[in-house]
Structure 1
Amino acid sequence: MTILRLSHVEVRVPDLELATAYYCEVVGLIETARESERVFLKGWDEHQHHSVVLTWEPTHGLNHFGFKVTELEDLDLYAARLKEAGVDVVRYGPDEWAPGHGEAIRFTLPSGHSMELVHGMQQVGNLLPLTNPPPKPLGLPGIAPPRIDHIFLTAEDVGGMTDFFVDVLGFRVTEQVVGDDGFRIATWLEVSHASHDIALVTGSNGGLHHFAWAVEDWTALRDAADVCAYHGVRIETNPTRHGATRGHCLYFFDPVGNRNEVFTGGYWVDPDNEPTIWTEAEMGRALFWYDGVVNQKFLTVHT
């Protein structure tokens, strides 16, 4: 019974055409399918049908996110574990929720977020041949990240949410910010042996802080900042480094208000590693190592 990695996010956009143009031309994702109120996108090195779904709604924010499981039987096993924990589960058959989506179970987290576990999403291939491929395709537009990397959510009870992910879903805590009162202010968790696949920070229930794509290295991160500046994209945080996860990052916003990140670096995690602890006084360094400062706007999100 294994959860592999972050599979996809579905975000709300009040202007579907504008958001699609941004995610295709600036971020550099590939459109794989389109409906009247939904567009499906993926990174160039992702084999599955989609990793980002844009859904037209009057507001921006997160509708749901999903993680990929190894085997179809895992859905039954996790459904049983969730029901034992008192969580209602909705089952979707193959392609029932969306084209190419596969089979899935969906449930509501204690924070009100909608989460999914999915198996068997249609494999459409990356942009490389299976025989003697080059390292990457030429002529990719925009930032052109190869894949989705992680998601960062807000919750009123970070400790309770963290325990749910650990006890019910088998995630492991890699880092945490612990307040002077002993409560967890922020946590980073993984299932893929990366520094984190999901992170939580104290805030409103149901909130999306950001979702992130992986890029190859610091040069690619710098180039991503160049692309954003060229297209007039609002950059929130210039290329810098996290203390927690040790990764390098760039934060910016899509044209409707969803916060994006490109991320590189981090470290490899073994299951028996002890979590790193950051004190409340050093939370600024945990998030932004060089400046050591977190302004209130960075912690502001929309549900």
Structure 2
Amino acid sequence: MKLLNFKENGDVRLGVVTDKGVVDVAAAAEAAGIEAPADVHAVIEGGSAAIAALNGIVDKALSAPGGAIREEASLRLAPCVTRPGKIICVGLNYRKHAEETNSPIPQYPILFNKFANTLCGHGDEVALPKVSEQVDYEAELVIVIGKEAKYIDSPDDALDYVFGYCCVNDLSARDLQFRTPQWLLGKCCDGFSPLGPYLVTADEVGDPNNLAISCTVNGEVRQQSNTSDMIFSCKEIVHYISQHMTLVPGDIILTGTPEGVVLGYPPEKQVYLKDGDVVTIQIEKLGSLTNTMRAER
């Protein structure tokens, strides 16, 4: 199943993407006189039972005329996960990216975090902070946790705790990121985690470490790789994190970026993002996430 969130009259509404358009879940449920999950987090927490309920709502909406089917192009999207309890990031997790930045291959996943202020949706404009001149793009696959997990026995069991996956642009202000040994400052500027457009359930994605991933800036391909180049696979990441903290439904994990970021170019060829640049992150089966960069005023 492919889920999205859209904004309307100050509210965030849940939608299900179908071949006939986006089913407005609340409107479809009201028309059918049945209960629906309140939001995307209720679906994540509800697991298979919530998905079954959504399937019933979608079937009724598609078989009956009415206002519950929306054109996706007309919607203003919100982040596909709106209230993650944790935003955990993995640094230097693609072999070729580590090599292009002359960094040693990590022996353990390099973890850092972001905050909810960084979230925005597909189509939103992202402010380039006044205090930075080196904002970089990073195409990344996101793992969305679906069940509470602590001390998972084996990496082979780890993906059982995953609800689904989505795209993110892990925007990074490099001059702030490397001001100190801690990366947080350069990662946590407002709007620095565009997330979406869709949250796709794990059953539709299959192997998360066999997906084409790319980034374009103004239509020019900057990153083009496959999630198979990860140093630590998705199952290894989830297993590792669960040994150190409790993961809960709705937590998101950003799994690192492939080669091709501005930071990886020789200094004389580094051209960082500027006002008006349009950045698109695309991952196989997960759709395309596009945002326009704007100079902060």
**Given the two structures, how large is their TM-score scaled by the length of structure 1?**
0.26
Query: Which one has the bigger helix percentage?
Result: 2
